[in-house]
Amino acid sequence: MASFYGIGVGPGDSDLLTVKAVATIKQLDILYAPQAHKGSKSVAERIAAPYLPETLTVKKRHFPMVNDWETKMASWRTIADEIKADVQAGHNVGFLTLGDPSVYSTFSYIADMLVSDIDVQTIAGISSFSQIAASLSVPLMLDEESLEVVPATAAESKLTQVIDLNDNVVIMKIATNFAKVYRILQERNLLDKTIVVENASMATQRVRRLSDYAVEDKLPYFTTALLKKEGKKA
């Protein structure tokens, strides 16, 4: 039976794909990928490139990066309908996602549209924050410590609450609201306890303390922050 697979390719290094992810990719007939600028490959496609079969059909589609929810849903519905037709025609179809498909992934929305009509499988990947903790050789949490993952796009009240209530905090998409996050952590004297990792596991990876930045700095899109208040420090 043909299936639709959401495949996590990890944060950036092609060596971080799981054995199961590679095996799944090799059995695909069709791969859906974002339409990158000027016809280039998307980041996820470049990460998976060493494992893509030569016979694979790659369908590049536009995934709007806008705040208008109706616009995004309409685009996802169109793509979901095409995926459904491909699977029902007997093709194994894949959708590559950065990190893990269950963490802030467009795949989850498309899968929800399709799960009642076709077989949907999710192949876990290594999340950026898991790789960051591994590369720093520090635990995300110990004993009774808490950990919360939050996007920098969250409301300021939400970010403040998460930072105040947890021992460890992963802040994703930090480049989109860097000044806001910087100010919140500065007010709490937590800049020195926050590690910022740009382009985790990629050739351009850079690791710095948040205190090494200025509030007006511009960060790469793929930047994640890890706040550790207590316990083993990064």
4-123 CATH fold: Cobalt-precorrin-4 Transmethylase; domain 1 (3.40.1010)
**201, 11 contact by CB (below 8 A):** yes
The domain segmentation of the chain, as residue ranges, is 4-123, 128-228
Alpha helices, DSSP H, located in 103-219: 106-114, 128-136, 156-165, 178-187
What is the per-residue pLDDT for 39? 66
What three-state secondary structure class fits 70?
Answer: helix
What is the per-residue pLDDT for 231? 56
pLDDT digits (tens, 9 = 90+) for 96-113: 999 999 999 999 999 999
Q: Which two tokens stand for residue 11?
A: 């944060």
- Pairwise CA distance, residues 187 & 130, whole Å: 27
What is the per-residue pLDDT for 10? 97
Instruction: Extract the residue ranges of the chain whose pLDDT is less than 70.
Output: 38-39, 231-234
Enter the pTM of the model. 0.92
Homologous superfamily in CATH for domain 128-228: Tetrapyrrole methylase, C-terminal domain (3.30.950.10)
Q: Identify the burial level of 163 via C-beta atoms within 10 angstroms of its C-beta, where 0-12 means exposed, 13-18 middle and 19 or more buried.
A: buried
Tell me the three-class secondary structure of 190-207, residue by residue: CHHHEEEEECCCCCCCEE
What is the per-residue pLDDT for 167? 96
